[in-house]
Amino acid sequence: MIHEVLGGNDLNGEQKLKDYAASCLAKKVYVIDNDIIHFANFGSSSCTAVIGEHSVILIDAVRSSVYARQVREILSEYTDKPVRTIIYTTILPETQGGSGVFADTVEQVIGCTETVRPRIARTCLNDVKEMRKIFTRGYGLADKLIIPDGNTRQEVITSFDSTRDSWLEPTMWIENNCSMEIDGVRLSLLRTPGETPETITVWLPEKKAAAVGSLFYGTFPNFNIVTGSDYMETEIWCDSLRKVRDLEPEILLPAMTVPVTGRENVRTVLTTFADALEYILTETLTGINDGLDLDEIIASVSLPEQYQTWYLEERFGRVEWMIRAIWARNMGWFSGLAAELTPLPAETFHEELIQLIGYEKLSQRIGRALSDGEYQLALQLCELDSRRYRVQKKQALKALGRESDCLGERYFLLARAEEL
């Protein structure tokens, strides 16, 4: 079920997001065949039920108990067999949070051995990352500002509050690729690092189906998104995509958005997705090596026409964010400009600029920028004295948020506007 490109260039950002949500983020149950049922977009994640001889293998457990209970109820309409095994494709809460709903029947939980990460940073940054997650998912926004996707606001808010409140820890850890048979179902668990280093692909050879977690999803991916995340090694991600492609799957089951079916469709999707990410990586590194600064690279690098397809539209992540992440990963924080080696504090520099410009001219320019639709310019000028220009800053943030065709960006901007 390949989806066509959503929305033309003549549509505004909000309408593009509505079209995308209706096509790729709608809560829906896909009966792949009699033994595979895919629950797409229950909250911000999906899961797959594989029906065995006497039980069900659940690949991922959606984000929270709110949605897991819905999955369990709908699953009972297709089979009375209990869920005995859960396999996590990632370590993300979105794939584990609802597992506790199945605690009364589950006998085995399989997860991937977690990559060692700095303990202090992970512990100390939990609060700020959760707050940014609230911003980027629109949890605190009014209903009229939310892009509808079939999940009610109450479900989403309750889901966020209860994420991983009763999740089941793995009883079996996967360190290397392995094959096994569970209740008559042959499967392989493959290490396929991508968005997270711990991503597992569950390969069902008899069904030619690959449940890939967050290795692929139908949008240009997030790279070091505003919530804060580890760098995603692009080369390794591309290798994993091609590794799955070479299995020649006929069914692709991601942990969000929609399934893809048909051998040639799946092959094209995985090849194009990998090639596009590799293209941005190569072009960015070439620009760095040629002596271009970050702004010059961002201005010169974009996805060529052959990558302009529905599953690479910038609805969750942006090419620019990926370029910034690649720069930071390979060159560190320093831009290369001498003035930025030991810069003045921003507040001190802003005060100097205001002395040169004067509040009268600055106020006039902010007003013109807002009137002319130059909202990004207005926002940056407001930052010279954000307390004085609080009202104008809020206006610019709201306008930018409503214009955005990238979901996380929209919600973040609108949420920051609501704070003012």
Residue 282 located in a structural domain: no
- Main-chain phi, psi angles of 359, to 5 degrees: -65, -30
Using one digit for the tens of pLDDT, what is the confidence trace for 270-283?
999 999 999 999 99
Residue 252 in contact with residue 269, Cβ under 8 Å?
yes
Residue 54 located in a structural domain: yes
- Tell me the H-state helices in 198-262: 234-245
Residue 315 located in a structural domain: no
- More reliable by pLDDT, 166 or 198: 198
Same domain, yes or no, for 161 and 266?
Answer: yes
CA atoms of 161 and 66, how far apart (whole Å): 10
**Which pLDDT does position 139 carry in this prediction?**
74
Same domain, yes or no, for 41 and 161?
Answer: yes
Could you say which of 237, 255, 276 is where a domain stops? Answer: 276
Whether the pLDDT of residue 160 is over 60: the answer is no
The helix (H) or strand (E) run that includes residue 134 is helix 126-137
User: Domain containing 255 — which CATH number?
Assistant: 3.60.15.30
Could you say which of 276, 300, 328 is where a domain stops? Answer: 276
Spell out a b/e string for 238-248, using b for 16 or more CB atoms within 10 Å of the CB, else e. bebbebbbebe
Residue 67 in contact with residue 43, Cβ under 8 Å?
yes
- More reliable by pLDDT, 136 or 298: 298
Whether the pLDDT of residue 7 is over 50: the answer is no
Average pLDDT score over the chain: 90
Give whole-number Cα distances, 390 to 48, 277, 354, in Å: 47, 39, 16
Residue 65 located in a structural domain: yes
Residue 336 located in a structural domain: no
Same domain, yes or no, for 226 and 122?
Answer: yes
Same domain, yes or no, for 134 and 258?
Answer: yes
**Which pLDDT does position 5 carry in this prediction?**
42
Same domain, yes or no, for 29 and 128?
Answer: yes
Same domain, yes or no, for 265 and 363?
Answer: no
Q: Using CB atoms within 10 A of its CB, is residue 355 exposed (0-12), middle (13-18) or buried (19+)? A: exposed
**Which pLDDT does position 156 carry in this prediction?**
61
Whether the pLDDT of residue 119 is over 80: the answer is no
- More reliable by pLDDT, 63 or 133: 63
Residue 267 located in a structural domain: yes
57: which residues sit within 8 A by CB, 6+ positions away?
Answer: 49, 50, 51, 83, 84, 85, 86, 87, 182, 183, 185, 187
- Give the lowest-confidence range in 145-149, 151-155, 277-281, 368-372: 151-155
- For residue 353, give its domain range: 344-419
- Tell me the H-state helices in 196-293: 234-245, 263-289
**Which pLDDT does position 228 carry in this prediction?**
72
Could you say which of 231, 247, 276 is where a domain stops? Answer: 276
Residue 167 in contact with residue 65, Cβ under 8 Å?
no
- More reliable by pLDDT, 35 or 150: 35
Same domain, yes or no, for 164 and 49?
Answer: yes
Same domain, yes or no, for 352 and 270?
Answer: no
Residue 285 located in a structural domain: no
Most confident of 120-124, 391-395, 404-408, 411-415: 391-395
Residue 300 located in a structural domain: no
DSSP SS3 for 196: coil
Using one digit for the tens of pLDDT, what is the confidence trace for 327-371?
999 999 998 889 999 999 999 999 999 999 999 999 999 999 999
Same domain, yes or no, for 158 and 35?
Answer: yes
Question: In total, how many domains does the chain have?
Answer: 2
Provide the pLDDT confidence category of residue 1 given band limits of 50, 70 and 90.
Answer: very low
Question: Length of the chain, please?
Answer: 420
Using one digit for the tens of pLDDT, what is the confidence trace for 58-111?
999 998 898 999 999 999 999 999 999 999 999 888 899 999 999 999 999 999
Q: What percent of the chain has pLDDT over 90?
A: 74
Same domain, yes or no, for 172 and 34?
Answer: yes
Same domain, yes or no, for 239 and 357?
Answer: no
Whether the pLDDT of residue 2 is over 50: the answer is no
- Give the lowest-confidence range in 120-134, 204-218, 286-300: 120-134
Same domain, yes or no, for 352 and 229?
Answer: no
